Amino acid sequence: MTDNKLINLVNITKSFGDNIVLDDLNLYIRENEFVTLLGPSGCGKTTTLRIIGGFENPDKGQVIFEGKDITKTAPNERQVNTVFQKYALFNHLTVAENIAFGLKIKKKSKEYIKDKIKYALKLVNLDGFENRMPDSLSGGQQQRIAIARAIVNEPKVLLLDEPLGALDLKLRQDMQYELIRLKNELGITFVYVTHDQEEALTMSDTIVVMNQGYIQQIGTPEDIYNEPQNAFVADFIGESNIIPSIMVEDRLVNILGANFACVDAGFGHNKPVDVVIRPEDIDLVKPEEGIIKGMVTSLLFKGVHYEMEVQAHGYDWLVHSTDLVPVGSEVGIRVDPFNIQIMNKPESEDEEAVELEI
Amino acid sequence: MKIRNALNVKTPKPPSQKNEGSSLGIRNVKWLSFPYILWMVGFIIIPLIVILYYGLTTDDKSFTLDNIGAILHPINLKALRIALEQSLISTLICLLLAYPLAMILSKSKMKSNSFIVMIIILPMWMNFLLRTIAWQNLLERTGIINIVLKFFGLPILNIINTPKAIILGMVYNFLPFMVLPIYNVLIKIDKDIINAARDLGANSVQTFLKIILPLSLPGVVSGITMVFVPSLTTFVISNILGGSKIVLIGNVIEQQFRIGNWHIGSGLSLVLMIFILISMAVLSKYDKESEGSGLW
Ligand SMILES: Nc1ncnc2c1ncn2[C@@H]1O[C@H](COP(=O)(O)OP(=O)(O)OP(=O)(O)O)[C@@H](O)[C@H]1O
Ligand SMILES: [Mg+2]
């Protein structure tokens, strides 16, 4: 990844009728960066991609590519290829013809095209599918053909709209690995859309969390996970306990009536804040050793860990632990200071709206 | 059977709809097709058998191929040739007019498609005969068009009772049958398929030739069938707009039935049917090649 801004979206606004889908969106994407747009259904991820791809015109704002304004440039003149959310394969052409489409337009040699088809099919694990028709393929196979059709063109930027959504876990992990390898080999910049936060966290250099047409937070996966800027991000990325609390003073927060040490400062005295604590960061100890006492009310086995709910001081704490604590046990709750994330209460109306959504 | 299928335009299906129509649902509604089968037997199969019988027998009920051979009579052969020419020309004109029209309509941002469809079929609410007679009045030497032309000092139009008038009548009457199936396939082409072609570098002409046109071929084939068949067999249009000067094969057949010669009339009808079957077989072959799967 370089510091070169390859794509720059400036003040993009887009509405469909009365529905404002993107509101004054600003976002830049650096060369060879893997950027993931993450957010709930309908938040405008696809619309953002379509504006970069040129299939949708923004009402306001500009799309800058390598320093040039391409807002009005036709899709076929952009150095961008797209993997569409609904695949959009050409059903009247064979798999091979689908993959060859872009290369034929660019008048590549027969030999080159043949090699590329073979290479791409191997990459997406569909060797020998050359002569199949798209509608004879399963959803996951069609999706992989859509990926193959886009990557053979070796574009500067690849836009991928939930490209692995129809695949099973194993295949998805293989494809994630292949895509990352491809990105590093060919130096392609990826703009990736997914619902799957785990996928976003493992693959991305940068995650853009969106909600209702607004960007909530931009950051590295670590930033987004460990230091969510607001309750929406905290709630959307991973599971978390979001508890309204009072910041007593620097490095001391009062959660549900008990004082916890924390590492944040600069919020002022006795200020209402939201506290985020990840379920895996809560330590269950003997009742007398805890800062807060409570009782285990439910227990679920989740494979790697147990998921428990602990009723304490009127709040149901979500706890992940590898140790089993039976339902009905009295327990104490402790949290290490650096695992307590303090967030300002939302102030603006937009943020308020976001808060209500949750 | 094949003509009925021509109305069932095959369109590109999104992958998700593949497993529709479980056997359960179909079994439950099977009895619903009973009236339809009754209709087919009563009004399609039986008449066909009757025509076959008359076409292959003489007055004294003995077998003969003479009725079919009657097509070789120079007058009948000429009528068939003219009918083929005229219907091919009018089908071609319909196609050239309908395709761009269907493209424009399918792209229009108009909210309700049903409104567009209504505009196209609105003329069909009027009786077919009336519309054709109206054209006769319009085109007549002293008709409205010529009055207007004369008024502006322009040369008058002299096409009534010529092949041109018949073609005009065919195009006017059958154009909607070409527009609708093409329009229907065009609006069903997913916008993202076109976007994908543009995305992969195709300009609008390439996108049209490589994507839109092949995907719309099933509609074109239906349209051609639905215009060509009635054009080939019509006798009303040629009667009204062609005077008695231009005799199409349809006119010959009509006259045979009118003078009570059912055998010759049926024999010639069978010949016409063979032509229609051949043309549809040719079309379906083209369609198969382009679509990967058959329309019929
Ligand atoms: N062509 C359109 N006409 C009208 N509204 C649209 C159109 N395209 C998108 N929208 C609306 O814009 C909003 C954002 O849509 P978008 O497809 O960008 O969401 P998304 O984030 O990709 O969601 P998902 O995760 O479900 O794919 C939605 O409310 C949607 O209904
Ligand atoms: Mg989407």
Residue-wise pLDDT tens digits, A239-283: 899 999 999 999 999 999 999 999 999 898 999 999 999 999 999
Cα gap B242→B146, rounded to integer Å: 18
Cα gap A5→A7, rounded to integer Å: 6
The answer to whether A157 and A189 are in contact (CB under 8 A) is yes
Closest chain B residue by Cα to residue A139: B15
**8-state DSSP, B213:** H
> Mean per-residue pLDDT for A51-55?
96
Cα gap B21→A98, rounded to integer Å: 29
A345-354, B18-27, B52-61, B226-235: least confidently modelled range: B18-27
The answer to whether A206 and A34 are in contact (CB under 8 A) is yes
> Mean per-residue pLDDT for B179-207?
95
Q: If pLDDT is split at 50, 70 and 90, which confidence band does B111 have?
A: low
Chain A contact for B192, CB < 8 A? yes
Closest chain A residue by Cα to residue B190: A88
Residue A11 has pLDDT above 60, yes or no: yes
What is the per-residue pLDDT for A185? 85
What is the per-residue pLDDT for B26? 54
> Mean per-residue pLDDT for A303-328?
93
Residue A211 has pLDDT above 60, yes or no: yes
Domains recognised in chain A with CATH numbers: 5-226 (3.40.50.300), 239-342 (2.40.50.140)
What is the per-residue pLDDT for B28? 64
Q: If pLDDT is split at 50, 70 and 90, which confidence band does A45 have?
A: very high
Average pLDDT, chain A: 92
Residue A355 has pLDDT above 50, yes or no: no
**8-state DSSP, B208:** I
Residue B190 has pLDDT above 60, yes or no: yes
What is the per-residue pLDDT for A20? 94
What is the per-residue pLDDT for A97? 97
Give every CB contact of residue A174 below 8 A, 6+ residues apart in sequence: A125
Q: Give the ligand whose atoms come closest to the C-alpha of residue A195.
A: 1
Q: What is the ipTM of this complex?
A: 0.83
What is the per-residue pLDDT for B12? 44
Helical H runs in chain A?
45-53, 95-105, 110-123, 139-151, 169-186, 197-203, 221-226, 231-236, 349-357
Q: If pLDDT is split at 50, 70 and 90, which confidence band does B141 have?
A: confident
Q: If pLDDT is split at 50, 70 and 90, which confidence band does A188 have?
A: very high
Residue A292 has pLDDT above 50, yes or no: yes
> Mean per-residue pLDDT for B248-253?
93
Cα gap A51→A35, rounded to integer Å: 16
List of chain A residues whose C-beta atoms are within 8 Å of the C-beta of residue B292: 92, 133
Q: For residue A203, give the nearest of A192, A215, A212 by alpha carbon.
A: A192
Q: What count of other Cβ atoms lies within 10 Å of the Cβ of residue A134?
A: 24
Q: Please tell me the distance between residue A49's alpha carbon and the centre of ligand 1 in angstroms.
A: 11
DSSP secondary structure string, A215-275? EEEEE-HHHHHHS-SSHHHHHHSS--EEEEEEEEETTEEEETTEEEE-S---S-SSEEEEE
What is the per-residue pLDDT for B295? 36
What proportion of chain A, given as a percentage, has pLDDT over 90? 82
Q: Please tell me the distance between residue B191's alpha carbon and the centre of ligand 2 in angstroms.
A: 15
Interface contact B198-A105, CB threshold 8 A: no
What is the per-residue pLDDT for A23? 93
Would you kindly state where each structural domain of chain B is located, as residue ranges? 14-55, 67-286
A29-43, A210-224, B14-28, B138-152: least confidently modelled range: B14-28
Residue A349 has pLDDT above 80, yes or no: no
Cα gap B261→B247, rounded to integer Å: 18
Q: If pLDDT is split at 50, 70 and 90, which confidence band does A129 have?
A: very high
Residue A357 has pLDDT above 50, yes or no: no
User: From the list A87, A102, A137, which residue is nearest B200 (CB)?
Assistant: A102
List of chain B residues whose C-beta atoms are within 8 Å of the C-beta of residue A101: 197, 200, 202, 210
Residue A348 has pLDDT above 60, yes or no: no
Single-letter amino acid code for the residue at A195: H
- Helix, strand, coil distribution of chain B in percent, nearest 5: 75, 0, 20
Six-digit token string for B103: 């493209």
Interface contact B198-A81, CB threshold 8 A: no
Residue A306 has pLDDT above 70, yes or no: yes
Give every CB contact of residue A67 below 8 A, 6+ residues apart in sequence: none
Cα gap A71→A50, rounded to integer Å: 12
Give every CB contact of residue A232 below 8 A, 6+ residues apart in sequence: A209, A211, A216, A354, A355, A357, A358
Q: For residue A212, give the nearest of A25, A9, A8 by alpha carbon.
A: A25
> What strands, in cross-sheet order, belong to the sheet with A252-255?
A258-261, A252-255, A241-249, A271-277, A341-344
The pocket of ion ligand 2, defined by CB under 5 A, consists of A 46, 85
What is the per-residue pLDDT for B14? 44
From the number of C-beta atoms within 10 Å of its C-beta (0-12, 13-18, 19+), residue A226 rates as: middle
CATH of domain B67-286: 1.10.3720.10
Interface contact A92-B215, CB threshold 8 A: yes
> Mean per-residue pLDDT for B38-55?
92
B101-105, B111-115, B131-135, B141-145: least confidently modelled range: B111-115
Cα gap A154→A119, rounded to integer Å: 13
What is the per-residue pLDDT for B142? 86
> Mean per-residue pLDDT for B149-159?
87
Q: If pLDDT is split at 50, 70 and 90, which confidence band does A344 have?
A: confident
DSSP secondary structure string, B178-196? HHHHHHHHHHHS-HHHHHH
Q: For residue A49, give the nearest of B107, B206, B199 by alpha carbon.
A: B199
Average pLDDT, chain B: 85
Tell me the C-alpha to C-alpha distance, in Å, between residue A126 and each of A43, A262, A325: 33, 52, 47
Write down the pTM of the prediction. Answer: 0.81
Cα gap B146→B154, rounded to integer Å: 9
Q: If pLDDT is split at 50, 70 and 90, which confidence band does B25 have?
A: low
